[in-house]
Amino acid sequence: MTALLKVENLRIELTTRDGVAPVIDDLSFEMNAGETMSFVGESGCGKSMTALGIMGLLPEKVGRVASGTILFDGEDLTRVSDARMREIRGNDISMIFQEPMTSLNPVYTVGEQIAEVLRRHQGLGQRAAWEKAIALLDAVRIPNPRSRVADYPHQMSGGQRQRVMIAIALACEPKILIADEPTTALDVTVQAQIFDLLRDLGRETGTAIILITHDMGAVAEMAERMIVMYAGRKAEEGPVDQVINHPRHPYTKGLISCVPHLMANLSEERPELTEVGGIVPGLREFGRDACLFASRCDMVNDKCRNARPPEVAFKGNQASACWFAEKV
């Protein structure tokens, strides 16, 4: 089976006041149809940049793909025309964002916003698009879709708005849905509803999902494979259960153990949380020939500070970019 999405040696550069910084630095990964994959990391590690790069939505004039390819169904998205990219976006690859309020247009009803996608991409007429919008609202489990379709975004709750976003994103049955922190702004019971919905819809339509998040719990529940990003680079990649049980990169290990997780049986004792000291380096540091995690790592030695670690492969499709991956 050939991969649905194949990213090779992708480098995305941002122009800042301090010069050009590679916010995505030599990133390669593959993803199959129907698969759920997760990108994890702290803010500023390049999770969202990867998504915007795939969508062709990098900030204009500031960001650009410097080298590498993004092959989607055999087509290199870094080379296609703007017109073709517009066709792909929404039709084949679509995206939902963190804040459902700011991503919906407040002056149009949700029905109009869903129907617009269908008219544009699928050439449906007014009436047919409206009917399909109602069907989609029903599919994302909004009660009374026939009356709610004429609501404006402000008349809906946060969870309902995110459902509308999902309806818009899935309107054209895309092959890939990118969900960028889709539940960060929502309550945990609503998050459970949205995850449940995404899982079911993904299964029904065969849509592959890229879930961007900082929550390891969410990754464990939703994804089959995960990529841990740090400072624009892939730190670790592998099947979710395997990575969580046996992380091979100190950063992954830190991310898992620094968060107090709910456990099956709570006991009296409460060990101190493992701290990952320091913060993500600034953009100026990006692209240096060194391990960028070195300043926060407790396994660091001179090698780490002077050369970028190569990816070490492990059994079961796990890989880690650390000089001491075997020892972690």
Chain contacts with another protein (rule: CB under 8 A):
42-43, 143, 157, 159-160, 187-193, 195-196, 214-222, 241, 244, 254-256, 258-268, 270, 272-277, 279-280
**Nearer to another protein (CB atom), residue 206 or residue 217:** 217
> Residue 16 or residue 28: which is nearer to another protein going by CB?
16
| Least distance to another protein, CB of residue 150, Å | 19
Biggest CA-to-CA distance, the chain? 67
Looking at the Cβ atoms of 72 and 286, the one nearer to another protein is 286
CB of 223 to another protein, least distance (A): 11
Three-state DSSP class for residue 59: coil
Least distance to another protein, CB of residue 193, Å: 6
By beta-carbon proximity to another protein, the closer residue of 82 and 268 is: 268
Q: Least CB distance from residue 241 to another protein, whole Å?
A: 7
Helix (H) or strand (E) holding 269: none
Residue nearer to another protein on the CB measure, 164 or 255: 255
Distance (Å) of CA 253 to CA 134, 164, 249: 45, 36, 6
Complex with another protein: residue 74 or 260, whichever CB lies closer: 260
Least Å from the CB of residue 186 to another protein = 9
Helix intervals (H) in the chain? 47-55, 82-91, 100-103, 110-122, 126-139, 145-148, 158-170, 188-205, 216-222, 240-245, 250-257, 302-306
- Shortest distance, position 64 Cβ to another protein, whole Å: 27
Long-range contacts of 133-142 (CB under 8 A, 24+ apart): 133/167, 133/171, 136/167, 136/170, 136/171, 137/110, 137/111, 137/163, 137/164, 137/167, 139/167, 139/170, 139/201, 140/164, 140/166, 140/167, 140/170, 140/197, 140/201, 141/193, 141/197
Nearest by Cα to 7 from 68, 70, 90: 70
Minimum separation from the CB atom of position 29 to another protein (A): 22
Nearer to another protein, 259 or 307 (CB): 259
